[in-house]
Structure 1
Amino acid sequence: MKFNLTNILMYYILMMGVLLSISSNNWMMMWSGLEISLMSFIPLMSGGMIGSESSMKYFIIQSISSTLLILSILMMITTKFEYKFIMMISLMLKMGVAPFHNWVLSIINSLEYKLLFMLLSIMKIAPLVMMSYLNYCNDFIIMLSLIIGSIFSLNQNSIRKLLVYSSIYNMAYILSTININYIWTMYITVYSTILLLLVLMMNKMKINYFNQFMMNDFSFLFKMNLWISLLSLGGMPPLLGFLPKLIIMEMMILKKSFILILMMILSSLIVMFFYMRMVFLAFMNYSIMNKKSLNFSKLSIWSLMINTNMFPFLISLKYLY
Structure 2
Amino acid sequence: MKLNLTNIFMLFILIIGLIISISSNNWMMMWSGLEISLMSFIPLMSGGMMGSESSMKYFIVQSISSSMLIISIFMMISMNLLYMYMLLSSLVLKMGVAPFHNWVLSIINSLDYKLMFFLLSVMKIAPLVMLSFLNSYNDLFVMLSLIIGSFFSLNQNSVRKLLAYSSIYNMSYIISCINMNSIWILYLFLYSFILILLIILISKLKINYINQFMINEQSLIMKLNLSISILSLGGLPPLLGFFPKFIILQMMVKKKMFLLMILMIMTSLLVMFFYMRMMFLMFLNYSIMQKFLTKISMKLSVWSLFFNLNIFPFIISLKYYV
TM-score, normalised by the number of residues in structure 2: 0.95
Match of 1:312 in 2: 313
Q: How does 1:291-310 map onto structure 2 within 5 Å?
A: 291=293, 294=297, 301-310=302-311
Bigger drift between 201-210 and 224-233 goes to: 224-233
RMSD: 1.6
Shift of 1:233: 1.3
Amino acid at match of 1:209: Y
Q: Deviations over 1:31-55 (max 9, x none)?
A: 0000000011000000122100000
C-alpha separation between the residues in 2 aligned to 1:58 and 1:109?
Answer: 13
Secondary structure of 2:196's aligned partner? helix
- Taking a change above 3 Å as real, the CA distance of residues 297 and 256 of structure 1, as seen in their structure-2 partners, is same
* Contact preservation (8 Å) 2:72, 2:86: yes
C-alpha separation between the residues in 2 aligned to 1:288 and 1:309?
Answer: 30
* Contact preservation (8 Å) 2:229, 2:304: yes
Shift of 1:318: 2.4
Q: Deviations over 1:46-72 (max 9, x none)?
A: 012210000000000000000000011
Match of 2:243 in 1: 243
Q: Residue 40 in 1 paired to residue 40 in 2?
A: yes
Q: Deviations over 1:202-254 (max 9, x none)?
A: 00100000010011211112222222112211211111111111110111111
C-alpha separation between the residues in 2 aligned to 1:137 and 1:65?
Answer: 19
Match of 2:218 in 1: 218
User: 4+ runs of 1 displaced by more than 3 Å?
Assistant: 288-298
Secondary structure of 1:210's aligned partner? coil
* Contact preservation (8 Å) 1:14, 1:40: yes
Percent identity of paired positions between Structure 1 and Structure 2: 67
Shift of 1:284: 3.8
Q: Deviations over 1:186-214 (max 9, x none)?
A: 00001001001000000010000001001
Alignment size in residue pairs: 319
Amino acid at match of 1:283: F
Match of 1:188 in 2: 188
C-alpha separation between the residues in 2 aligned to 1:55 and 1:21?
Answer: 22
Shift of 1:295: 8.7
Amino acid at match of 1:310: I
Bigger drift between 229-238 and 120-129 goes to: 229-238
Secondary structure of 1:100's aligned partner? coil
Shift of 1:312: 1.1
* Contact preservation (8 Å) 2:252, 2:261: yes
* Contact preservation (8 Å) 1:219, 1:294: no
Q: Residue 258 in 1 paired to residue 258 in 2?
A: yes
* Contact preservation (8 Å) 1:147, 1:267: yes
Q: Deviations over 1:159-201 (max 9, x none)?
A: 0000000000000100111000000000000100100100000
* Contact preservation (8 Å) 2:227, 2:283: no
Shift of 1:83: 1.1
Q: Deviations over 1:112-160 (max 9, x none)?
A: 1010001000000000000000121321211110000000000000000
Match of 1:87 in 2: 87
Secondary structure of 2:259's aligned partner? helix
Secondary structure of 1:320's aligned partner? coil
C-alpha separation between the residues in 2 aligned to 1:70 and 1:101?
Answer: 21
- Runs (5+) with no aligned partner, structure 2: none
Secondary structure of 2:133's aligned partner? helix
C-alpha separation between the residues in 2 aligned to 1:41 and 1:296?
Answer: 40
C-alpha separation between the residues in 1 aligned to 2:99 and 2:286?
Answer: 38
Amino acid at match of 2:307: I
Bigger drift between 120-129 and 74-83 goes to: 74-83
Shift of 1:288: 4.0
Match of 2:158 in 1: 158
Match of 2:19 in 1: 19
Secondary structure of 2:268's aligned partner? helix
Match of 1:282 in 2: 282
- Taking a change above 3 Å as real, the CA distance of residues 238 and 115 of structure 1, as seen in their structure-2 partners, is same
C-alpha separation between the residues in 2 aligned to 1:6 and 1:135?
Answer: 40
C-alpha separation between the residues in 1 aligned to 2:288 and 2:24?
Answer: 54
C-alpha separation between the residues in 2 aligned to 1:315 and 1:48?
Answer: 46
C-alpha separation between the residues in 2 aligned to 1:297 and 1:78?
Answer: 62
Amino acid at match of 1:304: L
* Contact preservation (8 Å) 2:149, 2:169: yes
Match of 2:129 in 1: 129
Shift of 1:85: 1.1
C-alpha separation between the residues in 1 aligned to 2:285 and 2:193?
Answer: 31
- Runs (5+) with no aligned partner, structure 1: none
